[in-house]
Structure 1
Amino acid sequence: MSFLSPTLKIENLAKEPELVQDHLAEENRYARGNFVARWCVPINGKMYRIEFDHGTTSGRRMIWVNGKEIIRRDWMFKLVGDDSFKIDNARCIIRVDPAPGFKYEYSLYIDGRPHKQYTEEQARTLKTWLTVVDGVEYRVVLELDSLNVFINDQLRSEMGDFVDGGTDTDFEENGVKFQLCARLGSESNGIRHSLKVNGEIIPEVSLIDLDEKDVK
């Protein structure tokens, strides 16, 4: 996934000159709202939000993962290049490339693959559901190869019970009842998975759609 900063648009340009953020107090200068690029990445059944700040005047680069600052580099004279880090043993690289009009492109690579390719590959091995109950968002992820189940990135230990045509796995979180159903389909469809929350079927979401959402 590579894109220019969404703030670099005519309608978003300030009508009056503004000072760079280097004149601000440190706690305000490094606010997470200043990032220029953001990606959501599924790694080992968990979802991670990666945010990147690129200070083209100060040379600053900062990286947050799920809201936690993991890299801060100040006064970097080279404005393009790579920053590498690891998330759950996956090697990640954020690459800054020059773009026409004194702009920059920001790309993320995970284990050597571009973010879009990596996410599409993961989408074939994961099933994901999102629901909100009493104002609390729950994200349920099923790893198809290991059959591990995660709720909001926490691995569950419940085992499935055999029923007619498949298995049902029941678990509970904060008083909310979940049931993951696996049923045998046709030879072409294989096993079909569905999720019920408090007895209601929840539609599956794609990882591509999740990339447009914040990870809580």
Structure 2
Amino acid sequence: MSNLLRIHMKLLPKFHIKSPNICFFRFNICLNHKKNTLSLISVRCLTSNQKSYQKYKSNHSLAERQNASQNEVTIGAKVKQTTQDITYFGVILLGVSVTAIILWAIFRELFSSVSPSVLYSNALKLCKSDVRVVEAIGDPIKGFGEMSSRGRRRHVSSLEYEKDGQQVIRVKFYLKGSKTSGTVHLEAFKRSSKSKYRYLFVELDNSRHVIVLEDNRRLEDNVKLDPMSDLVAVWDVPLCDRVHRIEFEHGTTTGKRVLKVDGQEIVRREWMFKLVGSEAFEIKGEEGQVYAKCEILINASTGFTYEYSMVVNGKQLKKFKEKQSKVMSTWIVEIGDQMWRIALEKETLDIWVNGVKAETNHEFADEGTEMHFLIESQHKACIKTISSGNKKEGIVYSLIVNDKEITN
């Protein structure tokens, strides 16, 4: 029994099977003395060093977690990088487009035969070579564009518009010589193969004299007057007989001027080189008597815009109206279905009924004077003058029609 046990004990170490890797296997065996048998209880895999195995296991778990994290970061980074690439591509594409537009604009400006710069250069050469312009303005002649608020010469003014289905470009610039200065006005068709002007003229500043270098407007095929109205200003002029309506049309392309007084055309000029200047006329009564001498002033504003003002009897319209309110009293009277305008000239004491001078009968009253007249030959009317007792207010005028006082 003891020999068998010893044999078994000697065999026990042989049950430890060394693994070629970093671990080995241990078999747990139970010895039964009664039956003299051995039983296999368990098998366990151990490393040669338990601490090294635990460290290996810990490092292996950490590496797996790092790999998983790197996979997640890699996906997010890829999405972010793709977004950045698309953004950069869009910015580059936008930059290329803007650059192409700028280059095309520069090319068109420099090499197009009807660009503002080319038209300006060619027109300036024509002006410098024209004997009439040189004699009027004086040599040497310099050309420049609009003046800025800081006194700098900017680029020339240009305007594009459509005429009879064709694009027309209009250019304006200035000349300065040793004698005086002037303004150059020109137009040309934008799609014309040749640099042919519709018109080209120089307007002298000191005398408003115009020197025409080219004018091809009348030679254009199918020339038609613009049926659209060029109405630019309307004024109401209060005079003793009535309020006159003044309408003024100004064609800034052809220089056309049309002037109407109370709907009646009294001035029409189809072609004019002078786009600025003045237009004088008179407002007359039915019998030809002159009520007012007027003048319309046309002045150039910034670019291709114009300003229009009216002068009546030597005064600006606003000042004239202020004076009229002091020297004239007016009332609007409604009798039946008709409106009547009653006007009293304070200086002459003349009374006007709808533009017709009325026959008056003056009478002295206790507080002042009374001027009797008829409206439509049947309605009795009277204008009373009473002193207000105040130097500033002066005399107070009141109108009475059919025994009823009318307020003005």
- Structures share a fold, TM > 0.5? yes
Cα contact 1:53–1:63 (8 A) shared by 2: yes
Aligned residue runs from structure 1 range 1-216, under 5 A: 22-24=225-227, 35-43=231-239, 46-87=242-283, 88=290, 90-174=292-376, 175-188=378-391, 189-204=393-408
Structure with a larger share of its residues in strand: 1
TM-score normalised by L of structure 1:
0.72
1:7 alignment counterpart: none
AA partner of residue 196 (structure 1): I
Structure 1: segments with no counterpart, 5+ residues: 1-16, 205-216
Aligned mates of 1:67, 1:148 — CA distance in 2: 26
Question: Could you tell me how far 1:125 is from its partner in structure 2?
Answer: 0.8
AA partner of residue 60 (structure 1): K
Cα contact 1:22–1:58 (8 A) shared by 2: no
Cα contact 1:171–1:178 (8 A) shared by 2: yes
Aligned mates of 1:106, 1:157 — CA distance in 2: 39
Aligned mates of 2:358, 2:249 — CA distance in 1: 34
Aligned mates of 2:334, 2:258 — CA distance in 1: 31
AA partner of residue 202 (structure 1): I
Partner of 1:123: helix, strand, or coil?
A: helix
Aligned mates of 1:187, 1:105 — CA distance in 2: 42
AA partner of residue 200 (structure 1): K
Question: Could you tell me how far 1:101 is from its partner in structure 2?
Answer: 4.8
Aligned mates of 1:94, 1:192 — CA distance in 2: 35
AA partner of residue 326 (structure 2): R
Aligned mates of 2:402, 2:271 — CA distance in 1: 53
Name which structure has the greater RCO, CA cutoff 8 Å, separation 6+.
Answer: 1
Question: Could you tell me how far 1:70 is from its partner in structure 2?
Answer: 0.9
CA spacing shift, 1:146–1:45, aligned 2, 3 Å: farther
Deviation track 1:74-122 (CA, whole Å, cap 9, x = no partner) reads: 1112221111112316331101112235322110012322111122122
Structure 2: segments with no counterpart, 5+ residues: 1-161, 166-223, 284-289
Partner of 1:71: helix, strand, or coil?
A: strand
AA partner of residue 130 (structure 1): I
For the pair shown, which has the larger CA radius of gyration, 1 or 2? 2
CA spacing shift, 1:97–1:148, aligned 2, 3 Å: same
Cα contact 2:254–2:270 (8 A) shared by 1: yes
**Equivalent pairs, count:** 181
TM-score normalised by L of structure 2:
0.40
